[in-house]
Every structure is written in structure tokens, then in C-alpha cells.
Amino acid sequence: MVSGKQYMAVASSKKTALNRQPLHIEVAALVREMIKDGSLKQGEHIKEIELCEQLAVSRTPLREALKALHVEGLVHIETNRGSWVSKISAQEYLDAFEVMSSLERKAAELMTERASDQQLKELFIIHQQMENYFQQKDKKNYFEKNQQIHSSIIRASGNQKLCQLHQQLLNLVTYGRFQAINSDYRWKESMQEHQDLIKALLQRDGKKAGEILSTHVMHTGHVLAKMFEQA
């Protein structure tokens, strides 16, 4: 995993004086990723001094970042007590995936209507890369390509409001989505669902693609809800 200091150095090198984001926005992006990949675990107390040292920033931008993440639901703040990574319940996961399944169904339908042949070709290439990682049992890179596919479909819908709503929910459940493929059965099932999905998208069969993607998303939601309920 890239360290906080390395992340900030890379982020800074890519920005100019004209397009540089406020520091607390960059810090929020990093802390968000740390929550997603499990570096900061659900329910964990956030030790501000240690995190400031790790990210090489002062407490002011960190606290502003935590306030932004609190609004997103990723962080819980208590006055005079500090901040914690939010603990998402099994029901909250299920609720989020129910909405995401509807959004992704619509996105798949819109993609088949609006995407160019080049966009579909690029999606197929990402799918092939993901399938190769599946064969290699490389879960980390498989998951990254999996996320790319879902994000590409959402963007190709051409509906900005749909994209915004989906991203808000995705921020809450990304950590859980990675945990779902720890089940070999679910991983294999997910790969088959993606194979069926890409076939329907390439055929521009919006109804079928939407049904497959909606079912695929809810399968993951049910697996996670059961997993966190047991935990």
C-alpha cells in the first residue's frame, strides 16, 4: 500500500497552481482510501496525531477532512471525544446495495443506448484483463479491474446525477465489496455474472444487461449482509 507521505508527494507533483485542490480535500481522499482498503478499520478510533505524522500534514486540514468524511457517513465525530471510522451494519449494507442495484441496472440500460463502439471495446478489454487476474487468483488486481468495469458502466450512462448518487453509496461499501470475493464460491459466481454481463452489453441488449447487473449487485449485497451480521 502507498504510504500517506508517498501519496501526498505524488498528488502534489501532478497538480499545478491553477488546478490544485485545497489540502483538506486531498487529505480526505487519502483517508477515504485508507478506510476503503481496511488500513483504517470500521469502528476504529482515529488517532489524529499519528495520522497527521503519517500524512505529513497539520491537524487543521486533517480535521477539515474528517468533517467532510463525516458528512459522507464514513466517519463518526463526537464533540470533545474525537473521531471514529463509521461501523456499517448488515442492514445498512443491504439498504445501500438495494439502491445501487437499481442505479446500476439503469446505467447498463443507458450504456447500451449511448455508448460508442469504442467504449464497448475498451470495456471488453478491461473485462479480459479482469478474467486473466481471476485465472491467476490475483484478487487485488481482479478487484481493481472489477471496480473499473462498474465505474465505466456508470460513466457511460451519461447521467451525471446517477453518477453522483452511485459514488456516494460506493464510498460506503467498497471495503465490504472486496471482502465478498474472499468467498471462493462468490468469486467464481461473480466472474460468471460478469461474463454474462459483457456479452449482453456487447449485443446492446439493455434489458438483459440491466437484469444481470442488478442481480449481480444484489448477490454481493446479500453475501455482505450475511457476513457482517455473523461478525
Backbone conformation region of residue 177, classed left if phi is above 0, alpha if psi is from -120 to 50, else beta? alpha
Does 113 have pLDDT greater than 90? Answer: yes
Asked if residues 220 and 186 have their Cβ atoms less than 8 Å apart, the reply is yes
**Interatomic CA distance for residues 150 and 194, integer angstroms:** 10
Nearest Cα residue to 28 out of 2, 51, 10: 51
What is the per-residue pLDDT across 157-197, written as a single tens digit (0 to 9) for each? 999 999 999 998 988 887 777 777 777 888 999 999 999 99
What is the per-residue pLDDT across 123-161, written as a single tens digit (0 to 9) for each? 999 999 999 999 999 988 998 999 999 999 999 999 999
Domain spanning 4-85, CATH architecture: Orthogonal Bundle (1.10)
pTM score, whole prediction: 0.76
**Interatomic CA distance for residues 53 and 149, integer angstroms:** 35
CATH ID of 90-230, from 1.20.120.530, 1.10.3720.10, 1.10.540.10, 2.40.100.10: 1.20.120.530
Average of per-residue pLDDT across 38-66: 93
The beta strand positions in the chain, using DSSP E, are 45-46, 75-78, 82-85
- Other C-beta atoms closer than 10 Å to the C-beta of 35 total 24
Looking at the chain, the domain(s) classified CATH 1.20.120.530 span 90-230
What is the per-residue pLDDT across 67-90, written as a single tens digit (0 to 9) for each? 999 988 889 999 889 999 988 888
Residue 93 vs residues 75, 81, 107: alpha-carbon distances, Å: 16, 27, 20
- Other C-beta atoms closer than 10 Å to the C-beta of 220 total 23
Looking at the chain, the domain(s) classified CATH 1.10.10.10 span 4-85
